[in-house]
Amino acid sequence: MNTIAIVDYGMGNLRSVSKALEYVAPSATVTVTSDPAIIRQASRIVVPGQGAMPHCMQALADHGLRQAILDAAENKPFLGICLGLQMLFEVSEEGDAQGLGMLPGHVRKFRFDTTADTGVQKLKVPHMGWNQVHQAADHPLWHEIADDARFYFVHSYFVVASEQEIIAGTTCYPTPFTCAIAKDNIFAVQFHPEKSNLAGLTLLRNFTQWMP
């Protein structure tokens, strides 16, 4: 049976993610849970998240979910969304928060000096709205999604991966930043597939069928 656990640690638009997964995989059992035992038993794991990284890491600890996520990421198809991407790395500039350290690299903030366009006007932080995603590497989760398809973003921080080979997607704002990573059974994105219309639903459908 295809069982998908959406990790609930009190941060994230879990209902939208759950409804999107139920739509693309009607035969799967989708559960929103904060129970480590259910997370360990599920065949697939989704870790969404919105908000601040220090609060995210504290919430994981408060709910006893840190080790369950680390264990799940060892061998299950794993999808991280927004903070679910950022938490995989070592440290974030946001409150100098320590991440899970599963991937080498750090999380930094968009700054006006790095988000200035070629004119006088400067781009806004947070980066909010639709933007194109360039597929930096082939991956099953990009199946039937056109390169440079548009996805929906809401974030002020972005990941800087130390290993170029894990970068699966980039977006320009206005210079390229990593918006998707892939390593073994882990795929994680900065954008919100549950809010990204057909391209996002296709990515979620691909995840429910992915056998890494």
Distance CA 52, CA 56 (A): 6
CB atoms near residue 150 (< 10 Å): 17
| Tokens coding 151 | 């996805």
CA 106 to chain centre: 15
194 is catalytic: yes
Q: Give the separation between CA 179 and CA 45, rounded to whole angstroms.
A: 19
- For 166-196, b where at least 16 C-beta lie within 10 A, e where not — what string? bbbbbbebeeebbbbbbbebbbbbbbbbbbb
Single-letter amino acid code for the residue at 106: H
Catalytic residue among 55, 82, 127, 179: 82
Measure the CA–CA gap between 85 and 191, rounded to whole angstroms. Answer: 9
Q: Are 190 and 141 in contact (CB under 8 A)?
A: no
- Is 82 an active-site residue? yes
Query: Among 156, 179, 187, which residue's Cα sits nearest to residue 80?
Result: 187
Out of 127, 139, 155, 194, pick the active-site residue: 194
Show which residues are catalytic.
Answer: 82, 192, 194
